[in-house]
Amino acid sequence: MSIILKPEEIERKYGKLFCRGIYTMVDEQAGIAQIVEECSAKGPVEWDAVNRRRAGGVLTDIKVDGTTLIMDAIIGEREIHFGPASKDLGGQGLKSIRVEGDVVKSTWVGLAGASVGVGACMPQGPGTIEAEYPEDAKVGGAHRIEVTVSTPKLTRVVFGLDDTDTKEKGASWVLMLKCARSAPVGHFLQHKIVQLNPNVKDKTTQCTAVSVSFAVPASEYEVLKNHVIKFVRENTVSNNTSLVILKGLRIPQVLVDYGLRAKAEVLTIQEAEKAAEAGGAEIIEITGRRGLIGALAGLGCHDLGIKAAGLPDDW
């Protein structure tokens, strides 16, 4: 027997805790998922990252970004291995991820104090639809819990943008950050300023592109896309603005390679068009085609961390 609780019921049962949101993106074609869990403090995030990595399960990588956990996983099921330290240290891990229609169900296991995190804290956070518990579930102390958390199935969408300003006014990174923060749908994930080759002749001053990413339900994708296009079109001050769009959790290597080349080489519109086609990126010409060169480079570098902001000599 099991019981199903809504987030507000979990909060009433265990008291208000610390999760600020949980968002699950899936790429079913690639068989992978990414879970973003936002917390109110860094300590629990770091502890969870170490313990979830130790436990294995379906997690393949974990990153800590401030008070946010970014967890890469496969879609499927694998055994949790807490190891000999579990009796004394507790433990926490992700056992499985399965997709059922528009819902993703992730099954978590927690021991001792770690059981509070997956059994009481995460399931009451924004983004949770409901959580399924054993009928006799208890958290904390020396207890073990297995809980299945249901969240909406989301898709990651990355937008790359360049050439929205002139030497007199404007800044692409400002425009795109305002655009992302004003989006009426989706969950805004990341904003990246991408440094490109400063020796490019046709530039304003710093030669940077920008990219932003969202987690969005498939049913709301067109609303998000139309918002971004409309916002950029209404706020650009350049005649050469271009936008590129890619859906999925992995940026194809051909686009990453293109983005890295743009940090050291002077590329052409034709090279950008060829790379976009090979990598499956959609091109949206806002006011002109020249911005495509930087827009695609911004998209290609989106997942490179701090490398996106630098040049090869900075690494």
Q: Which of 182, 199, 125, 191 minimizes the C-alpha distance to 159?
A: 191
Q: Which residue has the tokens 């579990």?
A: 86
Helix%, strand%, coil% for the chain, nearest 5: 30, 35, 35
Q: What is the DSSP letter of 311?
A: -
Closest CA to 10 of 143, 121, 156: 121
194 in the same domain as 66: no
Return the number of other C-beta atoms located less than 10 Å from residue 95's C-beta. Answer: 19
Q: Please give the residue range of the domain that contains residue 139.
A: 2-153
pLDDT in tens, 151-209: 999 999 999 999 998 777 779 999 999 999 999 999 999 999 999 998 887 656 668 99
Residue 158 lies in a domain: no
Closest to 175 measured CA to CA, from 228, 220, 221, 214: 228
Band the pLDDT of 19: cuts 50, 70, 90.
Answer: very high
- Owner of token pair 């950008």: 272
* Whole-number Å distance between alpha carbons of 73 and 282: 26
User: Taking all residues of the chain, what is their mean pLDDT, rounded to a whole number?
Assistant: 93
Q: What is the mean pLDDT of residues 255-283?
A: 97
Name residues whose C-beta falls within 8 Å of residue 256's C-beta, 6 or more positions apart in sequence: 300, 301, 303, 304
Which 3-state string (H, E, C) describes 199-215? CCCCCCCCCEEEEEEEE
Look-up: residue for tokens 């603005």? Answer: 241
Q: How far is CA 299 from CA 18, 119, 193, 208, 282, in A?
A: 33, 37, 10, 12, 11
Domain match, 62 and 127 both: yes
Shared-domain flag, residues 91 and 16: yes
Q: What residues contact 159, with CB distance under 8 A and at least 6 apart? A: 176, 211, 212, 213, 228, 243, 244, 245, 299
Same domain as 98, residue 183: no
Q: Are residues 167 and 306 in the same domain?
A: yes
Q: Which of 124, 153, 182 is the last residue of a domain?
A: 153
Residues 92, 15: Cα–Cα separation, whole Å: 21
State yes or no: pLDDT of 86 exceeds 80: no
The β-bridge relationship of strands 208-216 and 32-39 is unpaired
Residue 137's identity, in one-letter code, is A
In whole angstroms, what is the distance from residue 140 CA to residue 265 CA? 56
Kindly report, residue by residue over 53-68, the tens digit of the pLDDT.
989 999 999 999 999 9
pLDDT of residue 167: 73
Please, what is the Cα angle at 285 between 177 and 174, to 5 degrees? 15
- Give the residue from 130, 153, 176 where a domain finishes: 153
Q: What pLDDT score does 203 carry?
A: 58
Domain closes at, from 131, 153, 175 = 153
* Mean pLDDT (whole number) for 246-265: 97
Please report which confidence band the pLDDT of residue 249 belongs to, taking 50, 70 and 90 as the band edges.
Answer: very high
Q: Give dist(CA 89, CA 112) in Å, integer.
A: 8
SS3 198: coil
| Banded model confidence at residue 143, pLDDT cuts 50, 70, 90 | confident
Q: Within this chain, do residues 62 and 141 fall inside the same structural domain, yes or no? A: yes
Distance CA 287, CA 296 (A): 16
- Residue 84 is predicted with a pLDDT of 58
Q: Are residues 138 and 238 in the same domain?
A: no
Q: What is the mean pLDDT of residues 140-149?
A: 87
- List residues bridging with 156 in a β-sheet: 215
Question: What is the DSSP-derived secondary structure letter of residue 15?
Answer: -
The answer, yes or no, to whether residue 290 has pLDDT greater than 70, is yes
Q: Can you tell me the distance from the alpha carbon of 159 to that of 144, in angstroms, rounded to the nearest whole number?
A: 42
Number of domains the chain contains: 2
43-50: average pLDDT: 94
The reported pLDDT for the residue numbered 90 is 55
pLDDT in tens, 121-137: 999 999 999 999 998 88
Query: Per-residue pLDDT tens for 105-121?
Result: 999 999 887 889 999 99
Give CA separation, 43 vs 49, 186, 315, in Å: 10, 27, 29
Same domain, 148 and 212: no
pLDDT of amino acid 218? 96
